[in-house]
Structure 1
Amino acid sequence: MKSKGLRLSYLILLCCFVFLSRSTAQDVPAKNRSKPFSFPLQLEMRVPFGPTAFPNGSNFYLIYELYLTNFGTSPIHLQRMELLNEDRSGNAPFLSFDSLELKSMVKILGNNNLKDALNIEAGHSAVVYIEAKTSNKTGFPNNIIHRIITSADSLDGAAINTHTTKIQTLKPPVSGSDWIAADGPGNSIDNHHRRGNIILGGHIVNSRRFAIDWKKVRDSVSFSGDAANVHSYFCYGEKIFAVADGIITSATDGLPDNIPGHGKAFHPTVPLTFEKLPGNNIVIDLGDGHYAHYMHMQQGSLHVKKGDRVRKGQLLGNIGNSGDAREPHLHFEVTTSAKLLYGEGIPYIIDHYRLGYQNGFDEVHLNELPKEKQIVDFGNARER
C-alpha cells in the first residue's frame, strides 16, 4: 500500500510540473521568446579570379565574375548587391546594384530565362557578371567585400583585391583609323566575349574577358559590296603589329579564309576543332606571365615563327578570316596562359589613341584601355 501511495504522489507532482511549465510558457510575452536556431544564409559566394582596375576616360573599371551557389533547401530571391570597402568596418557601400540592374547581370546556370534571373533554386548556381565603375579621382578601395541582399536575409562575403595582376602598357596591335572595339571590355548582355566562361582542366576560366574583335567601320558598317567576299571588308588584309617586345611562343599558319557569314550562313572552310578555333594565330610571351594572342590571321601572311624575338611595332602578319571567324577581324586578347582559352583574360592599357565621334577624332587618350563599341584612331602604330 505504501508503494502505491508513493507512485500516486509522484504522478500528482509530475502533472503539476507539466501544468506549471505550460502555464509559464504561455505567460512569457511573444517578444521575449527565443527564436528557433537557424544557420546563416546558405549561399556560397566566390570570385574565381580577382579583378584589376583599369582606366578609360574619366573612370576606373573593374570587370569580373561573382559565383553564387544555393546550399540551402529553399529558393533564394536576389534583391540587391552592394560593394563595400573591406578595410572600413561599418561603412556604407560605395556602389550598389538594384534588382533591375541585377537582372541583366545574373545568369542562372542551366537556365536562359531572364525572368528567372534573380531566383536561385536550392542546389543551383548563378554567375553575376560585374562591371564596377568609379571616378578616377577617387579610385577603388584596395580590398572589396560583397553584400548580397535577398528577400529574407543578407550576407557579406567573397573579399577580393582590386589589383590582382600587373597592368602592362602596350602598343596598338593595328594602325590607322575607323577601328571599332567590337565586343570589347564591357558588360553588355550580348557581348559574347564577356560571357565566355568555359570549363577547361576542371576549372572555370574566361580568357576572353578583355578580348576585342578589331574591325574597321565606315558609316556604322564593316564592309562595302558583296558581303560574302572577304575583300569587301574594310579591315581585311590590314597589317598586324607586335604590341611589345617578347618571344613568339607559337605561330600557326596554313588555314584558309572562311566565306563571310553569320548565324546559319556561317560555314567554316575547314571543319572546326578546338585547336583550329583561332585560325592562323600568333602568341607572344610578354613577360610576367602575360601572353598576347592574335587570332584569325590571313593564310601565308605570318612574318614570324615560334622562338623568334620580336620588338614592339614589328610587323607580324595581316588580318584574315580563318578559324572560328564569321567575318574578317583581328581577335586580340591578353591572358595568363600561352594555351588557347586556358588563361584568364586580364586588362592592359594602350599607350596612345584617339576616340572618334561623329564630328571626327578629337579626344586623345593616353595609357587607357578602349571599351566595347568605342571607335578608335591609332594613327601610325609603328612610329610611336
Structure 2
Amino acid sequence: MTVTTLLAAGCSSDTTTSSTSARPTATASALTGVSVPDSFSPVVVTPVSNSTFPWLGTDQKYHVSYDLQLTNASRLPASITKVEVVDAKHPNSVITSLSGRQLVDPKCAYGECNLLRMLPSTNTTDTVIPPGQSRALLIDLAFGTLKQAPAAVSHRLSLTGQANPPAAKPTPISYLAAPFDISAGKPLSIAPPLRGTNWIAANGCCGTGEAHRPSLNTFNGKLTNSQRFAIDWLKLTDTGQFYSGDKTKNESYADYGQSVYAVADGTVSSTLNTVDAGTPGLLPAKDPVLGPKLTIENVDGNHIIENLGGGVWAMYAHLIKGSLLVKPGDKVKKGQKIAELGNTGNSSAPHLHLQLMDNASLLQADSIPYVFDHFTYEGQISPAAWQASDAYESGTFFQGKLPQGQPRSGQLPLDLSIVDFPSP
C-alpha cells in the first residue's frame, strides 16, 4: 500500500521530558576525548543527519535514528561486509552490527532490511560501491533504558576495498569513522493533531518498506531527510476498515474532513490552500499526466508550517482546499483547530501528514524526533496485512487490536500503531 510518497522520490535518567528547545544541538562534551585511529579509509563516512537524541517508542524502547552517506573515494570497488555502531568512547562496545540481509535483501519488503540505499533512496541489489559513487545507510538503534544509550557513537566499517594508496586489488580492511553525537537534546512533547479513536500511524519510524524512513532527497545542494520521523495519520471505522461505500470518493473514508489541531503554541510560517482534491487509489507521482504537474511547492498538497519556537517547525500536509483557518503570521494555541484533513498533493488516500523539522523550509530541514503528551495505545496493524492491501486501503485491520487500550504519555507511536486521541 502506498498512501504518499516523495517527489521524484548519555543521559542520566529513564524519563522522557519535554524541552522548549528540541532542535538538536551538538554538545562539546559528547565528543570530548573521542578520536579515531589513523587509517587509510577508501569509503568516506559522512552523517546526513544533524546531531540527534533518544526518544521513547510505543514498544517501550528508546530509539535513535539517523542516516550516513558512504562515498567510495578510492580507485577500486568497495564491498561493504559489515557496519558496527559502537560507543564512541569505548569502541570495543558494539551497540549493533549490520550485515547480510540488514544491508541488502531483495526478498525483504518490510522491516530491518535494505538499510544500504542507492541514491536517490531506493533498494540496491548488492553491497558494492563502485569508485566515485555513494550509498546511504539508515541507522536505527534501540535501547532498553535511556542509561544504556551512550553520549556519542562511532562506526566501524568492514569491507573489501583499497587498503592503501598503491593497492592494485581489493583486500579485506576495517576501520573506525564518523563519531556522532546522539545526546544533543530531548524530544519535544506535543499535543495530538487529531481527536477520536482508531487512528493509524502509517509510514512511521522505523525500518524500511515504508515511504518516510528512507526518504533521502537532494535539495538545495545537499542530501536531506526531513521526513525521517513523519507519520501519515489515517482513521479506521468502528469495524476496522478505512472506508465504507464508494472507495473512489474521498468522502467514503473515515478520516476525510476530520479537524486538524495545532500541536503546540506557535506562529504560522507559511501555508498553501489552492490544491484541488485528488482521487483515492491514484498516486499522482505514478500517473503520466499528473506526475509532471507535481512541484516542490505542491507535492505536499495544501499545508501549514508552524513555528513552534526553539528552532522547531511543525508541518501539517494534504489538507482540504479552502479548509485552512490560519494564514502566515497568525498566532495559534495548542489544541486550536487550524484546518481539515484531506487528500491533496502526492497522496493516494485521505490522511494527515505530520512532521517536526529544524527549518521552516521543507527542502532545507532535517527531521526532529518528538513525542505525544497523551494518547491510548490500542495495538498494531500487521505489516503483512498492510503490505497486502490495495491502493484503496481495502481490508479489515483490527486483527492486532488489544482487548483493552493502554494509556501512554511521552511516547512516539511506531509504524502501524493503532491509537486513540482523547479530547482535551
| TM-score, normalising length: structure 1 | 0.83
Residue identity in the other structure for 1:321 = N
Distance in 2 (CA, whole Å) between partners of 1:178 and 1:341 is 32
Distance in 2 (CA, whole Å) between partners of 1:284 and 1:111 is 28
Distance in 2 (CA, whole Å) between partners of 1:176 and 1:111 is 35
- Would you say 1:301 and 2:323 are equivalent positions? yes
Q: What is the 5 A alignment of 1:118-267?
A: 118-136=127-145, 138-151=147-160, 152-188=172-208, 190-218=209-237, 221-263=241-283
* Aligned mate of 2:413, from 329, 353, 370: 370
Q: Counterpart of 1:314?
A: 336
Shift of 1:114: 3.7
Q: Counterpart of 1:98?
A: 99
Q: What is the 5 A alignment of 1:61-80?
A: 61-80=63-82
Shift of 1:231: 0.5
Q: Is the contact made by 1:109 and 1:124 (CA closer than 8 Å) also made in structure 2?
A: no
Distance in 2 (CA, whole Å) between partners of 1:303 and 1:110 is 36
Residue identity in the other structure for 1:79 = T
Cα deviation, 1:132-179, whole Å, max 9, x if unaligned, reads 111125431001111111240111011001033542110001011111
SS of the aligned residue for 1:100 comes to helix
Structure 1 residue runs without a partner (length 5+): 1-38
Q: Is the contact made by 1:76 and 1:119 (CA closer than 8 Å) also made in structure 2?
A: yes
> Aligned in 2, Cα 1:61/1:258: closer, same or farther, shift over 3 Å?
same
CA RMSD of aligned residues (A): 2.3
- Would you say 1:108 and 2:118 are equivalent positions? yes
Shift of 1:269: 11
> Aligned in 2, Cα 1:281/1:45: closer, same or farther, shift over 3 Å?
same
Percent identity of the aligned residues? 30
Structure 2 residue runs without a partner (length 5+): 1-38, 105-113, 161-171, 380-400
Residue identity in the other structure for 1:55 = L
Q: Is the contact made by 2:236 and 2:242 (CA closer than 8 Å) also made in structure 1?
A: yes
Distance in 2 (CA, whole Å) between partners of 1:343 and 1:43 is 26
Distance in 1 (CA, whole Å) between partners of 2:412 and 2:231 is 10
Distance in 2 (CA, whole Å) between partners of 1:354 and 1:345 is 25
Residue identity in the other structure for 1:148 = L
Distance in 1 (CA, whole Å) between partners of 2:363 and 2:186 is 20
Q: Is the contact made by 1:165 and 1:346 (CA closer than 8 Å) also made in structure 2?
A: no
Q: Counterpart of 1:284?
A: 306
Cα deviation, 1:321-361, whole Å, max 9, x if unaligned, reads 12222111101111111123321111011001111132344
Give the number of aligned pairs: 341
* Range with greater deviation from structure 2 (216-225 or 293-302): 216-225
* Structure exhibiting the larger radius of gyration computed from Cα positions: 1
Q: Is the contact made by 1:75 and 1:121 (CA closer than 8 Å) also made in structure 2?
A: yes
Distance in 1 (CA, whole Å) between partners of 2:78 and 2:217 is 25
By relative contact order (CA 8 Å, sep 6+), the higher-ranking structure is 2
Residue identity in the other structure for 1:131 = D
Q: Counterpart of 1:14?
A: none
Shift of 1:251: 2.5
Structure with the larger helix share: 1
